[in-house]
Each structure stands twice: as C-alpha cells, then as structure tokens.
Amino acid sequence: MKTTLIRGAGLLGGLAVVGFLVAYWLLEQQSPQVVGVGVVGSVLLVLFLWLDREELSEVSQSRAVRYGTGAALSVALAFGVTIAANVLAKRYDKRWDLTSEGRYTLSDHSVSVAKGLAEPVTVLGFFQTGSPEEDSFRDLVEGYTAHTDKLQLKLVDPVQEPLLAQEYAITSSFGTVVLVQGEKRQRLENDFKEEPFTNAILRLSSSKEHTICFTTGHGEREVDDDASAEGIGGMVVKMEGQNYKAKPFVPLKEGAVPADCEVVIVAGPQSELAPQEREMLARHVAEGRHLIVLIDPLVANETAADLSRYGLIVGDDLVLENNPNYQLEGGDPSYIVLDKASMDFHPIVNDMKAIALLRTVRSVRKGPDVEGYNVQELARTSPQSWAETDLSFVTAGVMPSPDEGVDLIGGVPMMAVVEVVDPSVVPVGDMSLPGGGLSLAPAPVDPAAPVDPAAPVVDPAAAPAEPVVEPVAEPVVAATPARGRNPGGRVLVIGDSDFAGNGLLAQGQNQDLLLNAVAWMVDEEDQIASRSSEGASGLLTMTGLQGIVVWLIAVLGAPGLAVALALRSWIQRRSL
C-alpha cells in the first residue's frame, strides 16, 4: 500500500514535471500556476526517488531486469529528448518558400518594416478556428515574426471568445485583424495579404491620425448609430479601425470647418445645407482639404445643385436599372449593382473586385470642362439603365420608361471625383452667419468656372445661388501636401448614401468604396484594399475528351497495370 502510494506520487511528479517543461518552453507560459505545478512535481519526484531508493537499487541488480528497466527508461528518455528537440525546433524555426512566385516570402520592404518595429504590436486575428483564412494569415505573420520579436500574434475564434469579439466589434465571418499598439488600432478586413498588413503596421507606428468630420444638422446619417439600418456608425467603426478619427460637427455652430478636419463627409443630408455652410465647405476645399458628399435623390436638391461649383452636375432624378444581370435578386430597379465593368480607372475603384450595391441613386456627372479642375466620373450603371427625371412615379407606383431627350439613357454616371488643381478656381462666397449677410454679392466672374445653364438636370433653384468668390490669393494649405500632389482639395460626390448605411454596408465592397475614397484623399493610397491576384492564373480547363482521358488514365490505367503485373507475378510464382 505504502509502496503503491509512493510510486503513484513518483509517477504524478514525473508527469507534472514533463507538463511544466512543455508549458514553460513550448508555449512560453510562465504563469504562477504553471511554475507551481513544476515545483510540486519536482518535490514529488525527489520524494519518490528518496523513499524508494532501496527498492530502486535492488531492482537494478540482475542483468535482465537492469536491461528491461534500462529499455523502459531509455524510451522515456528518448521521449523527453524528442519533446525537447521539437521545442527547440519550434523556437528556432526557419522556413523555405518553395512556391515559384515566392508567395510566402516577404518583400524587402515588409522585412525592413518588421525589423524597424520599435514598440510591441499585438496582432489580434479574429478567425474561425481551422479556417483557411486563419491558416494563411498565420503563415503571413510568421513571415514577420521571423524578423522581429515585437510582433505578437493572437488568434481568436469569435465564436469561442464572443466578449473579445464584441470589444473589437467583429462582424465579418471571414475574419478581421486588429493591430494594437498601446491605444492605437489598425483594422484589416477581407484582405489579409502582405501589402495591406505591412501598411497597417506602418500606419500604426506612424502616429499620424487623420480626422474625418461629419456634418450634422441636416438629417445626415447618424455617426453614433451603428445599430439601425439608416445609421452610418458601422462605417465609422471601420474608419476608426484605420486610425481615422471621426468627428461630427455642425458647420453653422462652428462658423467654419474646423481646421483639423482633413476630410468632411456630408452623409446623405435630408434637408438643405444653409448657403453659408456650403460656402464653408467650398472654402475648406479651396484650402486644399477634401469633401465627400453622399447625396440621395429627391432631397436636398439645392445642395445638390450647388455642387456645380466643383464642375459636377447632380441630376434631380432616380437611376433605374433594367439589365437583369445587374438587378438585385428580388429587388426593384432602384437597386443599382456596380461591378468591375461599371468602374472607370481610378485609385478609389481600381481594386474593386466584388460588387457594390447602392439603393435609390441619382446621377452625378461631369459638367462642362473647367480649367483648374480634373473631373472624372468613377462609375456608370449598365447600358440598359436610365435616370428617370419624372419622379411622380414614385408616389404613383407606376413603373416608368425612359423618355428620349429628357432622361439620361444608358450608362448613367452616379459617382464622380474632382481634383482641384488650381484652388483659386473654387468659388467661395460669403460665409458669414445669418444676419451677418445672407446677401450674396455676385462674384467676380471667373470665366473658367461658369455653371453651365444648359445643364438640363440642374435644379434652376441652384442658379441664383451664384456664389461670391472671395479671391483666394494664396491658397491656404492646411494639410501638408504630400508627394508633390497638387495643392487643391479633392471632392467626391456619390448620388447615394444608402450604400454606406449600416443596412447595406456588409454588401459586396460597399465599405471599401468609402474607405478607399478617404484613403485616397488623405494620401494613404496604400490603404486601398488591393486584392492583388497573385498566382491567380491557376485556372485549368479541359475539353470533354481530355476529361474522359484523365478519368481513364487515373482510374483504369495505373491501377489496371498494377493488377496485371500482380497477376503476372502470381502466375510466375505459382510454378516455382
């Protein structure tokens, strides 16, 4: 009884010590509990050896027993050596990338970024355990950790650790990566390849934080609302994940766009912006900062028409899609699907591979050429669509048809971007608050910036809002102009705001559309989701005949040959 107890203790102690070694070296767990297990185990083991010493020395007397014990012991020892070897191998892992395109080999740039890391970064990978995304992300991070010990990867299964997932607002089922350095966060979704990851590290360590301001007070989508379908909170969370700071403001209250706003987003105003507010925005752009206007049809027409000052014509219309390939399954024609073919060539949309889904869209097109502006339409709907100007059908409930000469028919542009090359071209009127002078003096006419009165869809109401241009002698350069880009601001107008609302945000690449736009505006083009198609030329197609031959070779050929050889050998051997 006593011996059994002692031996049991010895066994337990041995196991505890092995477990401790595994936990301590292999998993680098150094919690007090683990160390405690190790200490208790050692004590038990020593106790066993001491109490059982007579028995042990007796056992080692005879040759056979000595040998048998020796064998058992040496196998146990070999097991220990095996574990130790694996622990060392895990610690000092080297890897070779045998793929021809060097898929798992980091570029020199990424290596230098990894080596240059000064502060520790925790990489939280929210993936389903065992998913291919998790695997390839782990491979990727291992490429970095080979060069730095500042990077810590922690893989989290959102299903198993819902609290953590909630803390980081994880919604994507395909995975989300959050890089954490102190208070700073960088967020990656959908695309976990080397380039975006390296850029995320760079952004994290460059302490520059961009401020994105959202106008409020005109029924815009709510920045704080990340629950209802109308809110834009979901989008804001993604932006914050990119190290952007979101800041709502009421322009009339501030008197001007705050100086720290690099980008102002007007997210679907339901009522008109006051004329002064529009002037504030124009000044903001003239000063070389940026503006994004998401404007829905039927509302805020005056504000929409005012965008003509940037060389854009926003139609008072509703784009309807008639091409079944681009119609949403079960949706009405006011849903607009954009895909690669819909997009023009521009950094914002170049890397859009999946679709974007918009709902109730108005047309946004390039107005007459204006010297000093570079205007580009970014996306068009399909040739079978048109922009219906007779909006009475909305209440009548009758599906209209395109009216030649009145409606824009086929390939309706609904997204356009303006680069201000010459800031003096931007007409900026009086921004003084009501009472201070709503009377708008006619601006000195800039011949280069006329608002084309012939534009058929411009709400005539916008025409009198001829802005007063305060001559901006020297453009005030607020944001640091980078990389020799032109000093003017950038303006993006999209004839829809629903796509950025919580309701549609998860569709296709809706969120990338706005994130890309912001990234482009603040000169972080490397942020733009680039789903580069590395090694995508891996298609394989067969003719029907080839298919049959493959089946014949694989299923009949080789096994048949083996069976034939087997028979031959059997017959030969039978007579021997």
Partner 1 sequence: MRNILAIARRELSAYFATPVGWLALSAFLLITGFFFAALVSLYSMQSAEQAFSPYGAPDMNLNEYLVAPFFGNTAIILLFIVPALTMRLFAEDRKTRALELLLTSPITTTEIVLGKFVGAMGFIAVMLACTLHYVGVLFYLGDPDVGVVASSYLAMFLLSGAFVSVGLVTSSFTENQVVSLVLGFGMLLLLWVLGWAESASTGLTAEVLGFASLINRMEDLTKGLIHTRDVAYYLSFISFFLFATHQRVEAFRWS
Partner 2 sequence: MIRVEHLTKRYGATTAIEDVSFEVPKGQVVGFLGPNGAGKSTTMRILTGSLGATEGRATVDGRDVFTDAREVKRRIGYLPEVPPLYPNMVVRDYVAFAGQLKGVKDPVAAAERAIARVGLAQVGHRIIEHLSKGYRQRVGLAQALVHDPEVLILDEPNSGLDPAQRVEIRDLLHDLVEDKRTIILSTHVLADIEAICRRVIIINKGRIVAEDDIERLGGEQRTVTVAVARPGDAAIAAMRAVEGVSAVVDEGEGRLRLTTDGDRREHVANAAAPFGLLELSGRARLEEIYLRLTMGATP
Residues 537 to 576: which contact partner 2 by CB under 8 A?
A: 573, 576
Provide, rounded to whole angstroms, the least separation between the CB of residue 92 and partner 1: 7
CB of 64 or CB of 539, closer to partner 2: 64
Identify the CA nearest to 468 among candidates 448, 443, 444, 491. Answer: 443
Q: Which among partner 2, partner 1, none contacts residue 531 (Cβ within 5 to 8 A by kind)?
A: partner 1
Which of 4, 54, 57, 64 forms a contact with partner 2 (CB under 8 A)?
A: 64
Site for partner 1 in 314-333 (CB under 8 A): 325
Among 11, 46, 506, 558, binds partner 1 (CB under 8 A): 558
> What's the token pair of residue 468?
């007063």
Q: Which residues contact 51 (CB under 8 A, 6 or more apart)?
A: 6
Partner touching 353 among partner 1, partner 2, none, CB below 5 to 8 Å by kind: partner 1
* In the block, residue with structure tokens 């040959």: 561
Parallel, antiparallel, or unpaired for β 210-215 and 263-267? parallel
Q: Which is nearer to partner 2, 323 or 569 (CB)?
A: 569
Q: How far is the CB of 235 from partner 1 (least distance, A)?
A: 23
340 lies in the binding site for partner 1 (CB under 8 A): yes
Stretch of residues binding partner 2 (CB under 8 A), selected from 1-9, 58-66, 311-319, 320-328:
58-66
Beta-bridge mates of residue 314 = 364
Q: Which range binds partner 2 by CB under 8 A, 63-71, 118-126, 137-145, 461-469?
A: 63-71
Q: What track of x and - describes contact with partner 1 for positions 13 through 52 (by CB under 8 A)?
A: ---------xx--xx-x-----------------------
Question: Taking a C-beta distance cutoff of 8 angstroms, is the pair 106, 143 a contact?
Answer: yes
Residue 505 carries which side chain, given as an amino acid letter?
L
For 420-482, what is the HEC assignment?
ECCHHHCCCCCCCCCCCCCCCCCCCCCCCCCCCCCCCCCCHHHCCCCCCCCCCCCCCCCCCCC
Binding of residue 67 to partner 2 (CB under 8 A)? yes
Taking Cα atoms as reference points, which of 576, 523, 534 lies closest to residue 244?
Answer: 523
Token readout for 276 is: 């002064």
Determine the Cα–Cα distance for residues 132 and 139; give it in Å rounded to an integer.
11
Answer for which of 46, 49, 58, 67 binds partner 1 (CB under 8 A) is 67
Binding-site member from 5, 39, 49, 89 for partner 1 (CB under 8 A): 89
Interaction with partner 1 in 154-193: which residues (CB under 8 A)?
160
Instruction: For the segment 372-411, give every residue that binds partner 2 (CB under 8 A).
Output: none
Eight-state DSSP code of residue 343:
B
Query: Pairing mode, if any, of strands 490-494 and 413-420?
Result: antiparallel
Q: Which of residues 355-394 bind partner 1 (CB under 8 A)?
A: 355
User: Measuring CA to CA, which residue among 296, 342, 290 is closest to residue 315?
Assistant: 296
Pick from partner 2, partner 1, none: which does 533 bind, CB < 5 to 8 A by kind?
partner 1
The residue with tokens 């925790």 is: 122
d(CA 35, CA 201): 35
User: Closest approach of Cβ 236 to partner 1, in Å?
Assistant: 28
Does position 63 interact with partner 2 (CB under 8 A)? The reply is yes
Choose, by CB under 8 A, the member of 62, 74, 166, 270 that binds partner 2. 62
Candidate ranges 13-21, 57-65, 287-295, 559-567; the one touching partner 2 (CB under 8 A): 57-65
Cα–Cα distance list, 472 to 430, 450, 535 (Å) = 12, 17, 51
How far is the first Cα of the chain from the last one, in angstroms, to the nearest whole number?
Answer: 63
94: contact with partner 2 by CB under 8 A: no
Stretch that binds partner 1, among 45-53, 76-84, 178-186, 447-455 (CB under 8 A): 76-84
Question: Nearest distance from residue 67's CB to partner 2, in Å?
Answer: 7
- Interacting partner of 62 out of partner 1, partner 2, none (Cβ under 5 to 8 A depending on kind): partner 2
CB of 110 to partner 1, least distance (A): 16
Q: Does 506 bind partner 1 (CB under 8 A)?
A: no
∠ at Cα 290 (459, 191), nearest 5°?
110
Residue 80 contact among partner 1, partner 2, none, beta carbon within 5 to 8 Å by kind: none
- At residue 469's C-alpha, the angle toward residues 464 and 471, to 5°, is 170
Which residue number, 457 or 504, has a Cβ lying nearer to partner 1?
504
Among partner 1, partner 2, none, the one that 576 touches (CB under a kind-dependent 5 to 8 A) is partner 2
CA angle 482, 313, 350 (to 5 degrees): 45
Nearest-angstrom CA–CA distance, 488 and 119 = 36
Residue 62 or 533: the one with the smaller Cβ distance to partner 2 is 62
Residue 153 CB, nearest distance to partner 1 (Å)?
Answer: 12
Q: Which C-beta is closer to partner 1: that of 104 or that of 393?
A: 104
Residue type at 541 in one-letter notation: T
Q: State the nearest-atom distance from the C-beta of 77 to partner 1, in Å.
A: 10
Exposure on the CB side of residue 167, measured as CA atoms within 13 A: 10
Q: How far is the CB of 54 from partner 2 (least distance, A)?
A: 22
User: Which one, 182 or 535, has the nearer CB to partner 1?
Assistant: 535
Q: Which is nearer to partner 2, 57 or 61 (CB)?
A: 61
**What radius of gyration, in Å, describes the C-alpha atoms of the chain?**
34
Amino acid identity at 117: L
Q: What angle do CA 449, 269, 368 make, to 5 degrees?
A: 20
Q: For strand 413-420 and strand 373-380, is the pairing parallel, antiparallel, or unpaired?
A: antiparallel
402-413 exposure pattern, b = at least 16 Cβ within 10 A, e = fewer: beeeebbbeebb
Contact partner at residue 17 from partner 2, partner 1, none, CB < 5 to 8 Å by partner kind: none
Site for partner 2, rule CB under 8 A = 62-64, 67, 573, 576
